[in-house]
Amino acid sequence: MDTNIDKVLENIRNEENVYTTGKVIKVNEYNIEVSGLTDVSFYEEVDISGKASGYVFAIYPNRVIVSLTQINDNVMVGDLVYALNHEYKCLFSLDSVGKVVDIFGNDLIAGKKFNNLIELPIDGVDIPLMDRSSVNRGLLTGISGIDLIYPIGRGQRQLIIGDKKTGKTQICLDAIVNQKNQNVVCIYVAIGKTKKEVKELYYDLNKNGAATYTVIMASFNDELPTKAYLTPYVALTVAQELMLQKFDVLVIIDDLKKHADVYRQISLTSDKVPGRDAYPSDIFYTHARMLEKGCQHKDGGSVTILPIVETKGSDITDYISTNIISITDGQIVLSKKNFDKGEKPAIDYGLSVSRLGGAVQKKDMSQLGTKIRRELLTYLDVRDIYELSDPSELSDNIKEKITYGNMIIDGLKQYKFSPRSEDEMKKIFSFLNKE
């Protein structure tokens, strides 16, 4: 903050720039109204007398609304506001790997700012249609139920959705840990998680050897909602930059329901008209714009995104969930019922979907996967019908289906942080090849 002011003063001294200034005329939590600032531009960075900073959010004929992203001291009516003559940027350091960071270039574990920071726009360019190519390289998670049945490809957006305590975050952590030596950079974005959860996660990843290629980017609930709103965009800008340098990047966003709620809060306090469930009408675009950053670039790099959404009462058909399902390239649905039965990872194999399917798998994995899925789903379908029947009177066909069904359910069980190789998976399900 002080450096901003110094820069302004320095520039004024050198007469390099003439800054537009204005005065605060109204303050609410994180939006302030400013008079003056006669020729600012939209999304320009502004500084409020060294006390706070943010960006131009709306320009009216005779006033400007500034959205604050950092507040260090109480902003008062009458404070001087400087427009800094450049688009709002966030800060990132390449030393962030293995650290917990925020979008202002702070190392949160060490409690200080990085030295070698680069400036990044909060919203990178949209990769044009012709610069994208098809998603066809796999990104293995080490989880049988995913790699065989609902595979994830590099450049895919696959939603992880389920109730509280069904193992959503765990699946993503497993996926991160399995990227060891796979030349994938991972970014875990924490929105609305508690500080304790983030620190535990940091230790978990360290313990499992994932620290050398993982960045944790966090914003907490005791910080400004604007920061939480921007954090996933910044993470994806970082990911996109790396992708353009031909890296494969995996981004976890934990979670987007919280992000939607934060955005609703910001919208309602800025007088936007509420729509369905009081979310603003552009909530779909808010997430579509973000998740469309996930892609396979024609030059070789990719951004894979695993957004997480928390549901209530196992209902994946609420507004935000369906919005995000309609953006992503598939969803892994986690079921509370399976979780309680000990069938972990608690994937609901009926409701989960991959829109890419075998395109991102090896042929034999894909063939085995479709077989498992079909056997399992038809088993789940007949199980209820014959539940009350006398087992000795069932036809051989039905009996075999039930035996295989049970074996498949057992084979899909897997403990956390115990990834399987493709060969191990094939071995476990080799009984299906017998016919």
- Judged by CB, which is closer to another protein: 381, or 424? 381
Annotate each residue in 89-128 with x if it binds another protein (CB under 8 A) or - if it does not, as one string: ----------------------------------x--xxx
Task: Report if residue 280 touches another protein, rule: CB under 8 A.
Answer: yes
Q: How far is the CB of 39 from another protein (least distance, A)?
A: 5
Q: How far apart are CA 223 and CA 70, in angstroms?
A: 8
- Judged by CB, which is closer to another protein: 198, or 365? 365
Q: What is each CA distance from 225 to 12, 259, 272, 395, in whole angstroms?
A: 33, 9, 16, 60
Task: Report if residue 73 touches another protein, rule: CB under 8 A.
Answer: no
Residues in the chain, total: 435
**Dihedral over Cα of 336, 341, 347, 350: its sign:** negative
Q: How far is the CB of 4 from another protein (least distance, A)?
A: 19
Which amino acid does the sequence have at 248? D
Measured between its terminal Cα atoms, the distance across the chain in Å is 70
Of 25-33, 172-180, 354-362, 425-433, the window that binds another protein (rule: CB under 8 A) is 354-362
DSSP character at residue 42:
T
Q: How far is the CB of 273 from another protein (least distance, A)?
A: 5
Over the Cα atoms of the chain, what is R_g?
25
- Kindly identify the residues of this chain, within the stretch 22-51, that bind another protein according to CB under 8 A: 38-44
- Kindly identify the residues of this chain, within the stretch 303-322, that bind another protein according to CB under 8 A: 317-319, 321-322
Task: Report if residue 350 touches another protein, rule: CB under 8 A.
Answer: yes
CA 161 to chain centre: 12
3-state secondary structure (DSSP) of residue 421: coil
- Kindly identify the residues of this chain, within the stretch 330-349, that bind another protein according to CB under 8 A: 330-331
Query: Which residues are catalytically annotated?
Result: 355
Q: How far is the CB of 315 from another protein (least distance, A)?
A: 9
Among 327, 346, 372, 412, contact with another protein (rule: CB under 8 A)? 327
Task: Report if residue 72 touches another protein, rule: CB under 8 A.
Answer: no
- Kindly identify the residues of this chain, within the stretch 138-197, that bind another protein according to CB under 8 A: 155
Q: How far apart are CA 165 and CA 336, in angstroms?
A: 8
Task: Report if residue 17 touches another protein, rule: CB under 8 A.
Answer: no
- Judged by CB, which is closer to another protein: 84, or 325? 325
Q: How far is the CB of 220 from another protein (least distance, A)?
A: 27
Residues whose CB is less than 8 angstroms from the CB of residue 1 and which lie 6 or more positions away in sequence, other chains included: 47, 50, 51, 52, 53, 70, 72
Q: How far is the CB of 87 from another protein (least distance, A)?
A: 6
Q: How far apart are CA 274 and CA 281, in angstroms?
A: 7
- Give the residue from 84, 150, 183 showing the smallest Cα distance to 366: 150
Task: Report if residue 295 touches another protein, rule: CB under 8 A.
Answer: yes
Annotate each residue in 372-401 with x if it binds another protein (CB under 8 A) or - if it does not, as one string: -xx--xx--x--xxxxxxx--x---x----
- Judged by CB, which is closer to another protein: 88, or 114? 88
Task: Report if residue 58 touches another protein, rule: CB under 8 A.
Answer: yes
- Give the residue from 360, 10, 344 showing the smallest Cα distance to 156: 360
How many Cβ atoms sit within 10 Å of the Cβ of residue 62? 8
